[in-house]
């Protein structure tokens, strides 16, 4: 029997597997990950890692009972043992991150943290292009500040990540969904506007009126989109403080030269957002065009039992960024590939290979008993700059032959130390 990966999951093999989908290769992933890490560091963010599963209740408390993610997309299971608690694979990383911040009393050590994460998330959605059941999120949580500049900074940071990844086709839409003071009034205004037209909305939206009326704004059903475009906008119901906050965010984005548009339809699917919400999307993706979503969540830390501090963050789909990237990435080239001219020279060659590796060089040799010709073919395919050849003559002199794969035919016999120095030099040139 042949096994297949579970539906909605994808393997990421090495580049040389040459899969039909360009994004499915670890060379591309590693090159993006390195760029992303460099951007996070430049913006003063530090990494945090949390478990891939948490108590189910954590997600109910934070992401919210009425969010699609919690309502119908979580992979939940009963724990073993007496307690029989319910656990869920994380559908997003914010709840676990905030739990970790509180559990390790981070805010007692420093009142403001800029954290980043990258790792798998799980949602039981119907798989389609760009939508998986296991996918990878990278994101940030800036915990402990109500400053609108931090909202802007997270967006500027993600724009920088896209630039460094080579994603040119993107747009940023922002909105404010108000705070505890003004959100209630907006909720009522929305309900009042929706109720007379209710039968025309889809079944989901009809349920949402009572449970979470804001979600009607991001319903994707065409009929609902047409109806909800006429609904009142949050910013028109925002209190003076929320309006001031939004104005500062916009000013900071303009100052940084980060293009954006204000879109009253951006409400985000999760319950914990306050004030600023935003989404990055890319026209080079298909129906699943969202690259990144985020916003401010000024009450979540307090609601989870922590201090009353403001926070803002975003989460982006790594697969989506890779899909939107214009350039691929080549596999890393080793410094050398070693060739044994006779089978009995494989052992001393193996020794030489390991000495070069200990000297900091990267390289490999044949482990399949291939012919000399096939070994050279492998050397060529590996992309190595040099072939390191061990024949009886070199072995007798305690030397190896270095063959420059770029300059066809150019070869010289050198000691292993000389080879190491030449390889280092050649790799640099």
**Residues at the contact surface with ligand AMP, assessed by CB under 6 A:** 92, 123, 125, 131-132, 135, 137, 269, 290-293, 315-317, 319-320
Q: Which residue, 292 or 300, has its beta carbon nearer to ligand AMP?
A: 292
Shortest Å, Cβ 424 to ligand AMP: 41
Q: How far apart are CA 99 and CA 306, in angstroms?
A: 9
Q: Which residue, 178 or 269, has its beta carbon nearer to ligand AMP?
A: 269
Shortest Å, Cβ 195 to ligand AMP: 28
Q: Which residue, 214 or 376, has its beta carbon nearer to ligand AMP?
A: 214
Kindly state the tokens that stand for 114.
């800029």
C-alpha torsion angle, residues 119, 59, 221, 291 (rounded to 10): -20
**CB of 11 within 8 A of CB of 24?**
yes
Instruction: Look at residue 362 and give its three-state secondary structure.
Output: coil
Q: Which residue, 29 or 132, has its beta carbon nearer to ligand AMP?
A: 132
Cβ-based neighbours of 54, under 8 Å, separated by 6 or more: 87, 88, 90, 95, 96, 99
Shortest Å, Cβ 298 to ligand AMP: 18
- Residue number closest to ligand AMP, CB atom: 317
Q: How far apart are CA 382 and CA 282, in angstroms?
A: 35
Q: Which residue, 48 or 395, has its beta carbon nearer to ligand AMP?
A: 48
Q: Which residue, 217 or 361, has its beta carbon nearer to ligand AMP?
A: 217
**CB of 116 within 8 A of CB of 132?**
no
The dihedral sign for the CA sequence 11, 17, 23, 27? positive
Shortest Å, Cβ 317 to ligand AMP: 3
Shortest Å, Cβ 252 to ligand AMP: 22
Residue among 81, 88, 296 nearest 183 (CA): 296
Shortest Å, Cβ 75 to ligand AMP: 12
Shortest Å, Cβ 234 to ligand AMP: 18
Shortest Å, Cβ 305 to ligand AMP: 23
Q: Which residue has the tokens 């009253």?
A: 264
DSSP 247-311: HHHHHHHHHHT---EE-TT---SSTT-EEEEEEEE-TTS-S--EEEEEEE-TTHHHHTTS-S--E
**CB of 140 within 8 A of CB of 312?**
no
Q: Which residue, 316 or 384, has its beta carbon nearer to ligand AMP?
A: 316
Q: Which residue, 73 or 364, has its beta carbon nearer to ligand AMP?
A: 73
């Amino acid at each position: 029997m042949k096994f297949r990966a579970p539906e909605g999951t994808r393997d990421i093999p090495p580049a040389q597997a040459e899969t039909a989908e360009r994004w499915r290769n670890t060379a591309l992933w590693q090159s993006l990950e390195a760029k992303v890490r460099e951007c996070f560091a430049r913006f003063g963010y530090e990494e945090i890692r949390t478990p891939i599963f948490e108590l189910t209740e954590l997600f109910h408390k934070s992401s919210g009972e009425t969010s699609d993610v919690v309502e119908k997309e979580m992979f939940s299971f009963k724990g073993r043992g007496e307690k029989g608690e319910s656990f869920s694979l994380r559908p997003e990383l914010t709840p676990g991150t905030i739990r970790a911040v509180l559990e390790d009393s981070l805010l007692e050590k420093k009142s403001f943290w800029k954290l980043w994460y990258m790792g798998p998330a799980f949602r039981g959605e119907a798989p389609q292009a760009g939508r998986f059941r296991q996918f990878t999120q990278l994101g940030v949580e800036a915990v402990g500040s109500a400053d609108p500049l931090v909202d802007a900074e997270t967006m500027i940071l993600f724009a920088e990540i896209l630039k460094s990844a080579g994603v040119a086709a993107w747009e940023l839409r922002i909105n404010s969904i108000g705070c505890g003071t003004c959100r209630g009034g907006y909720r009522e205004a929305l309900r009042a506007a929706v109720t007379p037209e209710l039968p025309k909305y889809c079944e989901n939206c009809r349920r949402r009126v009572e449970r979470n009326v804001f979600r009607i704004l991001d319903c994707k059903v065409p009929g609902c989109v047409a109806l909800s475009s006429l609904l009142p906008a949050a910013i028109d119901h925002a209190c003076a403080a929320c309006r001031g906050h939004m104005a500062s965010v916009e000013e900071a984005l303009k100052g940084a030269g980060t293009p954006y548009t204000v879109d009253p339809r951006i409400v985000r699917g999760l319950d914990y957002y306050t004030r600023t919400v935003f989404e990055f999307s890319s026209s080079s993706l298909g129906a699943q065009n969202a690259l990144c979503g985020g916003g401010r969540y000024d009450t979540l830390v307090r609601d989870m039992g922590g201090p009353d501090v403001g926070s803002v963050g975003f989460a982006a789909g790594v697969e989506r960024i890779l899909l939107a990237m214009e350039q691929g990435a080549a596999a890393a080239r080793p410094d050398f590939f070693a060739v044994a001219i006779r089978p009995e020279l494989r052992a001393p060659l193996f020794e030489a290979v390991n000495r070069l590796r200990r000297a900091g060089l990267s390289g490999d040799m044949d482990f399949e008993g291939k012919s000399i010709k096939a070994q050279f073919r492998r050397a060529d395919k590996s992309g190595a700059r040099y072939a390191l050849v061990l024949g009886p003559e070199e072995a007798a002199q305690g030397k190896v032959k270095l063959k420059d794969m770029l300059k066809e035919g150019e070869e010289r016999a050198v000691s292993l130390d000389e080879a190491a120095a030449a390889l280092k030099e050649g790799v640099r040139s």
